[in-house]
Every structure is written in C-alpha cells, then in structure tokens.
Amino acid sequence: MSTITPTLTQIEYALAIAQQGSFRAAARACHVSQPALSAQVAKLEEGLGAVLFDRKTRPVIPTDKGRLLLPRFEAIVTAMREVEELAAAQDDALRGELRLGIIPTLAPYLLPRFLPGLCAEHPAMHVVVRELTTEEIVDALRADALDAGVLATPLAAPGIHEQRLFDEPLRIYASPRSSLHVEGRAGRRLTVEQLPTRELVVMTEGHCLRTQVLDLCELGDAADSPGFQLETGSMSTLVRMLDKGPWFTVLPELALDELDPVARQERVYEFAGPRPYREVGIVYRRPTYRAALREAVAEAVVESVPSKWRRRSGRGRRVDPV
C-alpha cells in the first residue's frame, strides 16, 4: 500500500461523486474541470490502495471498499470545517460563508427585508442564497450542500433540526372577476364553505404552499377537483394570472406587500373563525457548524417581520406544509 497522504480536496471530490452519481456532475458541483477532478480521485485511490467507485455503472456507485470509507470521509470533512469555525470564532466579528436555501414563496418577499441589513451589519459574513423547494432544501442539507434553510415548518424530517421564526397569516386574494365579489356581501371575512373551489388556482406540484392551501380548503388531492386547471410555480405569476380570469387563491401576508392600497382593499379577504397561518422556520442538519452565522440570519429574519408575528397567540390555525 502506498504511503501517499490523501488531501482534503481529494476527499471532498470523492464525496461529491458519491452525492452526484457521476464524475461530470461532481466536477460541476465543485467548480473544477472533469479531468482535474478525475486525476485527484485517481491519486486518492492510489494513495489508499483501493478503488472507491465502479466507473462502469450509470450512475457511478461506490465499490464495497468505497461504501466503507465514504462515511469516514464525511466525518473528516465535518471535523475540518468545525476546526475552521472554531479558529474563526476567536475573532469577535462574524465571518465566513453560510449556504442558505429559501423556498420560492418566501424568497422575493423576505430576502429584501433582512439580507441588505444583515450584510451591512456583518461585512465579513458571506451568505450564498439558493432558491429551492422544501424537498430540495432537505436533500441539500443531507448532502451537505447547504448549511441552513428558511421554509415553512414543521417538517418532522429525520435528522433535520428546526427553529421557529414567525407565524405568517394567510389571506384570500380574488381577481376582480371572481364570484367572491358578490354585490352587497357584508364584511371582508369568508368561511371555507363560502369559497368557490372551482375558481381556485394553486402553486404547481413541489411547492409546500400548494399542500397548505389544499389542506386549508379541505380539498385533498387537487387531481380530484375540477377547479385546478391552472398551476404555476411563482406567486407573482399566480397573481397576474388571477387578474385575467374569474379566479382566486390563498396567499401568505408577505406576498400582499406588492399590492397597491386600492387592490388590497378590494381584492383581499380574511378567513372567518380561527385565522390560518403558516409557520416559518430555519432548518439545519448540524447544530454546531456555522451556528453563529445561522443565528445571525435567524435574528435578522425575525427582526424584519411585524412583532405580532413573532408571538404565538394560540387562537389561529397552523396550516402544515406536509
């Protein structure tokens, strides 16, 4: 067996191959050329005296020896990153990179509220933000491709820690042509039974807001309802679509910030009875890694929303994302 000592870079490249299932995808994820990555992994295998991957399969899979060694590689990388973080913690200033995922129904409305101030307050901190669905964030956390995610909780996902940040109210938004605008209707509060479900438009598959709206409206699977001809993955697109037809949807409060006062007055309704809300939290897999940076993000997010959202009143109805 060779006495060549593996490098941390070689170990990270091997982990990327195991996560991505191919040398090409791993090279892309590591921002290097495929020949450079392949050469480093070959040196790693030479140094260990063992072949780590079966290169004939598609996707590439670890060999028996690879399956034994890869968990050790993960432990090495985790330990080295914790060493780096402890060394950086000797400085009072928050510094370092935090890889943050955020769901599309929060990103365009929440990021402008907290990110500029966070960057100004902690100039040595570098936040890399990726807009992903809930499932993609959980997968990325488990693959160590993200350090934290901001999304609708609770998830109850094995191995994923959660911290509640705030509770965001849900509102009914109806286009001017929706039958919800009944002449002489008293008040601006509606029960679920008053909603014309055939006019309901929801987010496309993969977005937790879709699941929450279906649950709130007690409709189960959208495929069983004739009111789901239109789907979209963007709330801005959703609103524009609604304004062109006789439809309505359910939106989080932050998404209504873009409406002018007249549109908000005429098109937005509240739910009667216990008012529904979605819980927004920050999730992570490793409690101690990048903890100070993660807490700085959590604090900035909480400070950016109305103070009443931070308190649990106990009178509303939480609509869970799964």
> How many structural domains are present in the chain?
3
Three-state SS string across 15-71, please?
HHHHHHCCHHHHHHHHCCCHHHHHHHHHHHHHHHCCCCEECCCCCCEECHHHHHHHH
Quick check: 117 and 300 in contact, CB under 8 A?
yes
Termini Cα distance of the chain: 50
> Does the bond joining 261 to the residue before it have cis omega, within 30 degrees of 0?
no
**Angle ∠(20,41,87) on CA atoms, nearest 5:** 85
Q: What are 160's two structure tokens? A: 């994923």
For residues 247 and 10, the model is more confident at: 10
Residue with tokens 């999304």: 151
Per-residue model confidence as pLDDT tens digits over 196-232 = 778 887 777 667 777 788 777 766 554 444 444 445 5
Question: Do residue 20 and residue 82 come from a single domain?
Answer: yes
Question: Do residue 75 and residue 139 come from a single domain?
Answer: no
Give the C-alpha separation, 165 to 153, whole Å.
Answer: 10
Query: Is residue 101 in some structural domain?
Result: yes
Q: How many residues does the chain have?
A: 322
Question: Do residue 114 and residue 191 come from a single domain?
Answer: no
Crossing angle for the helix pair 23-30 and 8-20, to the nearest 10 degrees: 120
Q: H or E element: which one contains 130? A: strand 125-131
Residue 207's nearest CA partner among 294, 305, 116, 321 is: 321
Give the C-alpha separation, 74 to 79, whole Å.
Answer: 9
Query: Is residue 2 in some structural domain?
Result: no
What integer is the mean pLDDT of 53-63? 90
Question: Do residue 265 and residue 293 come from a single domain?
Answer: no
What integer is the mean pLDDT of 135-152? 91
Q: What are 169's two structure tokens? A: 């109210």
Question: Do residue 233 and residue 271 come from a single domain?
Answer: yes
Amino acid 30: pLDDT: 86
Question: Do residue 238 and residue 137 come from a single domain?
Answer: no
Cα-flanking dihedrals φ and ψ of residue 216, to 5°? -60, -40
Q: What range does the domain containing 107 cover?
A: 96-167+283-314
Q: Is the pTM of this model over 0.75?
A: no
Amino acid 45: pLDDT: 92
What are the residues whose beta carbons fall under 8 Å from the beta carbon of 95, sequence distance 6 or more? 88, 122, 124, 125
Question: Do residue 144 and residue 196 come from a single domain?
Answer: no
Q: What are 129's two structure tokens? A: 């933000």
Quick check: 272 and 313 in contact, CB under 8 A?
no
Question: Do residue 162 and residue 176 come from a single domain?
Answer: no
Residue 315 banded pLDDT, cuts 50, 70, 90: low
